Every structure is written in C-alpha cells, then in structure tokens.
Chains A and B, each alone.
Chain A
Amino acid sequence: MLTQSDESQAKEAGPVHIELRPQAQHAVDAPPKLRARDVNVFYGEKQALFDVSLDVPEKAVTALIGPSGCGKSTFLRCINRMNDTIPTAKVSGRIELDGDDVNDRSIDPVLLRARVGMVFQKPNPFPKSIFENVAYGPRIHGIATGKRELEAVVETSLKRAGLWNEVADRLQAPGTSLSGGQQQRLVIARAIAVNPEVILMDEPCSALDPIATARVEELIDELREEYCIVIVTHSMAQAARVSQKTAFFHLGKLIEAGNTDEIFTNPRDTRTQDYITGRFG
C-alpha cells in the first residue's frame, strides 16, 4: 500500500554527509521533483522540442519513450543543462528542480550537476583508476576530503551500485579495463558518489548485453527508493519493467504522460497506441 512519503530528509545545498539517505516510500502523486513548463529547444534554426510540459515525481522512475529523433534525449539534457555545451542550442521555458528554475542566472551549472547526475548511453568511465573514477566527484565538490573519507565514499557508492564485490580487490585498475556492464555500473557509482537528488539516464542499457541489462535494471529498481530517476529508453519492455511513470514523445512534442500501467494498457492518444503496439517507431 502506498503511503504519503515522510519528507524527513533535509534538502541540502552544500557538502553533504556520507551516510545513506533514509529509505522512504515513493509516491507518484507526491509533489513532483521536477516540473517542466513550456520547454522549447532550438538547435540553431531547427526546433527540437515544442512546448513540453511534464512533471517528474520523486523517488520513482520516469521513462521517456518515443521513436528516434523525437527529442527525448534533448529534454533529458535540458534538466542538467548539458545543452549548454552545444553552442547552437537555445532553451526556453521553465524547468524547476524543487521549485528553482535550473536556467536561472543565479544557478551555477556546476552545482546543479552535482544535484542532477547523468549516465550516458555508452559507458564513459574516466581513463583513470576505478577508485579515482568514483572519488573524483566527491573530491572536487568537497564532499569528502582526505584519504579515509574518500575511501569510505568509494566503498559506499560501489556497494550501492552493486559493483563492490567485483572490484574491491583491484580498485587501482583502470576503469576502462572492466566489461561493458561493469563500466556502466561504475558510471552509476560515479554519479551517486556525489549524492545527487536526481539521476538522468540516457539509454543506459542500449550498449549492454541482456544479462548486464538485467543487472542494471535491478540496480535502477533499488536506486529508485532514494533518487528521482529519469530514464530514456528505446525498449518499451524496459520502460514497462522499470518505470512507474511514462512519457511518450513524438517529433518533439510530448504526446502523453501518466502511470506506466495506464499508458501501456490503456493509452489515450492513438499515436501512443500505435507506437506501443509497434505499428511505427
């Protein structure tokens, strides 16, 4: 039975403690963690997103689905302002993280990205040791200083990511020496080491084999009890397995969003219906 979550943890805005956040029940109808209102994105002259408005709940997995090129990744990258790195990209509209507009001038993207972590499609660990990969974020943000604190953070993060048992004896090995699935879990460990509130995942399993995919999905399931997760996926089966809320994009517009069960069993829009049943995309 879903209960209203007890908002017992404080929203920290600076260096945070290393202990785990207290487990809390998720509720899709609690106040949304992210609110997007009328988001338009242009790449030069070409418009990629048209008036997208979406609520993303806390402590749940929201899946963004849709055919290739429909703007899901673009929307995802707006949330942590990764589109800033593209010189021709222009973003308009409001995206609120806990009520604060992320595009506001007073928000430093560096701090924003410590609150909103990202996992990319192709695993991209730093070409440093496994330890360094996970310790880098906490070190530069001042979350953990000194050898012991860093070791503690690394161990916690790798355990949460389900990678600790496999790499505990070779933390100095390069991150790139792991298999694809392990690398992706390392990247997830790297993302959670800075204690984010939101984790964005851009097709995290598309480069992995089914067994590695299953492990990552298991991990996502565990992580959703603490973090708000937004996942872009091409696989509808994955969306159905993993998410609680689903949003369907098509040609830059948000067509439909709602509880995963409802979307997949009883979609309101015909385009959603067509996509889900495989008639296109």
Chain B
Amino acid sequence: MTDAALTPPAPTPADLRVAVAARLKARRARETRFRWYGRLAILTALMFLAVLLGRIVTQGYTTFIDYRMSVPVYVDPARVDASDLAGAGYDLLVADAVLAKLGEKDDEFGSASGKVMELLSTDLGFKLLQKLRADPSLIGKTVTVTGPVRADAALYYKGEIKRSTPQESRKLDDRQIAWLDKLKAQGMVSSGFNTSFLTRSDSTEPEQAGVLGAVVGSAMMLLVTAILAVPIGVLAAVYLEEFSPKNRWTAMIEVNINNLAAVPSIVYGLLGLAVFINWLAVPRSSPLVGGLVLALMALPTVIIATRSALKAVPPSIREAALGVGASKTQTVFHHVLPLAMPGVMTGAILSLAHALGETAPLLMVGMVSFVPGVPAGLTEAATVLPVQVFIWENASERAFHERTAAAIMVLLAFMIVMNLAAIILRRRFERRW
C-alpha cells in the first residue's frame, strides 16, 4: 500500500524456457511460410518460362517438317532450247507435268496450270534448269525434280488451312485442295525433316526461306564484338583495378562506366549511325559496323565483371608473388588474372550472349534490310537472327509466322549453347586456392 511500483519478480529459468518454447511455434511457422513464398516464386517463374517456351515450340516446330513433291517432268524439246536454257518457262513446264499426273487438262487461258503453279515452289523449276545446265542431253527425256511444295500448300498439309473455313476466306480454293489430296494419295508428296531451314538463307518465298544467312551474319558480328570487347575490356579493367592510382578521376571513370552499362541500347545504335557510318564510312548493314556498335555496348559489362573478379582474388596471392620478387605486372598477369579467369570468362561470354540478342541498335545501323544470301565478308550486307525474327514477324504470308517461331528457337538454342560454354569454360579454368 505504500510502495507504488512493485518490481515484478525476476523470471526464473523455467519461465524463460516456457517463453522460448511458446515463441518457437511462431518462428517455425514464419520460416515455413517464407519457404513456401520462395517455392511459389520459383514455380511462377518456371510457369512463365514454360508458357513462353511452349508457345514458341508449338508454333515453330512445324517449320521443321516440310512437304516435298517429286514430279517427273517431260522436257519437251519444242519448249526448251538448248542454246537458251534460261529462257524456257520451267515453272509452266513443271505445272503441266503435274496437271498431267492429276489427269486434268488445261483450258485455253491456262488457268488450271496457273492454279497448279500456286501449289508449287519456284524451286522446282530452278532445280530443273540446274539439271539441264549440267547435262543438256536430258532435253527430250523425262527428268524427276524434287522440291518443296509452296507455302500455302504446306500449310494445308500441316492443318493450318482448313477445308472447313469458307472458300472466300482461305488462300486455297476447293479445286486446289482436291488436287493436293490427290497428289498425296498418288504418293508424289512426302514429308521429312526440313533441313533447308538451316541451310538456306532468307527468301521471299516462305518455303525456301531459311536462317543460314542470319546465323552466319550473327556469328560474324559476334566475332567482331568478341575480338574488340573482350581484350579491351579485360585490359582496361586490369589497369583500373591494379595499376591506376585511386583518386577522384578514377572514381569518376568508374561511375561513368557503370552508367554506360545502363544506357539504352538504341542510343548505341544512334552512336553507330553517326560515328561509324556517317563519319568513318564503315559499310552500312555490315557485320563490321554491327560488331563495332555491340562491342561498345558490351564493353562496360566486361569491364565491370572483370573488375569484380579481380577484386575477389585474395591479397595473400599478390603478397606471395611480390614477396618472391615479382614485379607488379608479373604479379597481375602470372597470378591474379589466371585466378580471376572464371569470373572474367563468365562475364565475357554472358555479355556476348546478351549482344547476340540485341536488335534495336542493329536496326539503326541498317541491318533491317532483306538479305537473301550468306555474307561473304565482314563488310558485306548481312542480317542477324533477332532482326530476321523481326522481319519475318512483319511479313504478310502466314507461313512466315511459323518460321518466326522456328528462328526464335534457333536463337534460343544459340544462347543456350553459349551459356553452356560459359559454364564449361568456367569449370575448366577454376582453380582452388
């Protein structure tokens, strides 16, 4: 009654144990919840990845199935002149041969053969010309040519063009569809793995279009990027980290390099346009200018990755080397850099893989043009895989859509290979200390 504040009795060890035990359940619950949040996050990410990949693969895998037609063509000497092989109308010749096989006759306007030609690729006529060029004695004989069916016919065979849609809204009319069925029943049409997608370059005809030109263009461009960005980046990082004095200027350089890594890629494209193409007259749309632009883009990333790999090398290695009488340069190049190699290689390969997928800067330096062949040199016009995807996506023919997805698959495969290479190289160069 006198003393207002009664101090509570000090907790006994038993009380404390009870309190700790009571808290334990809540702590365990929180930990379990947190674990589930983590699992949920991973599952969501994997789900998105699965949806994306699934969509691409289901859209694109049909590209790798192609339908080919084998047509025995009678080379009428009345229509083919041995002295002017290129002048003959081979497409019409092949169409007539197919009509004959279908048991139909052409009318006087040639409308039937015209309709048949819509089902055949110009490749057939071209192959016939090549055979005749090689052996002109074939004139007057029957030559069998094999080539892909035209894009829309292939889409019908793959089920993309359906008979159920009304005739006005589809690309092939009923007569053409009937012919396609008949040709297939006769065994003139076979399906197989579409190697030409990987061995041919871009074309206006979807069934003849392939990614070879884009793949070669990408590879050349990556070569230029690698040769420029990796040595310059690594040596710059070595200098900044090991040799340069640490003062205000070097701090500013470091800040600027970090900022450059975050600059939007299209700005580098503008830089490439202004400096490389307009001022230095580097050929437009070439792997050289593309490689130069992307090398500038990859440089800050390589520098940052190399610097942090160098920082991670323990100072005891440097001291050991210096203690034995190695000079600064020998210490860095004989001891520190080899130990930092895994990090350096990972940074380099990842920045190159990143550069592989860049599209915006390349659009600015002109790599958006239609390039039908494989570039022969670094200064020739070329296109790259992501730009090829972009071009095909904008094309009007439906058949290009499945090719877009297939090109994306090729691009992804490229990137997976590069990332695997990064992992393998890193393991090989890893040294334990």
Contacts and interface: CB of A to CB of B under 8 A. Distances in A.
Contact of A137 (B324, B335, B431, B432): B324
B62 to A, nearest CB: 52
Contacts of A140: 324-326, 330, 334
Interface in A172-188: 174, 176, 187
Nearest to A81: B322
Contacts of B248: none
Contacts of B316: 120, 122, 124
Contacts of A187: 320
A117 B320 contact: no
A224 interface: no
B320 A125 contact: yes
B323 A118 contact: yes
A25 B335 CA distance: 38
B111 interface: no
A137 B325 contact: yes
Given A120-B320, A187-B320, A127 B325 contact: no
Interface residues of A, number: 27
A191 B142 CA distance: 86
A85 B322 contact: yes
B335 A120 contact: no
Contact of A80 (B320, B323, B326): B323
Nearest to A187: B320
A190 interface: yes
B333 to A, nearest CB: 11
B313 to A, nearest CB: 10
A104 B323 CA distance: 19
A85 B323 contact: no
Residue with the highest number of chain B CB atoms closer than 10 Å, among A114, A118, A125, A126: A126
Contacts, number: 64
Given A127-B431, A140-B330, A111 B319 contact: no
Interface in B307-342: 316-327, 330, 334-335, 339
A85 B319 contact: yes
A127 B339 contact: yes
A124 B325 CA distance: 15
A113 interface: yes
A136 interface: yes
A63 interface: no
B246 A176 contact: no
A247 to B, nearest CB: 22
A124 B431 contact: no
Contact of B326 (A85, A110, A112, A191): A110
Contacts of B330: 140
Contact of B433 (A114, A127, A136): A127
A80 B319 CA distance: 12
Given A82-B319, A113-B324, A126 B432 contact: no
Nearest to A115: B325
A11 B323 CA distance: 21
A94 interface: no
A95 interface: no
Interface in A82-108: 82, 85, 87
A170 B327 CA distance: 29
A141 interface: yes
A190 B433 CA distance: 17
A57 to B, nearest CB: 22
23 contacts: A82-B322, A110-B325, A110-B326, A110-B327, A113-B324, A117-B324, A120-B316, A122-B316, A124-B316, A124-B317, A124-B319, A125-B320, A126-B321, A127-B431, A127-B432, A127-B433, A140-B325, A140-B330, A140-B334, A174-B431, A174-B432, A187-B320, A191-B324
Given A85-B319, A122-B316, A140-B326, 12 more contacts: A110-B325, A113-B325, A114-B324, A117-B323, A118-B323, A124-B319, A125-B320, A127-B432, A136-B326, A137-B325, A137-B326, A194-B325
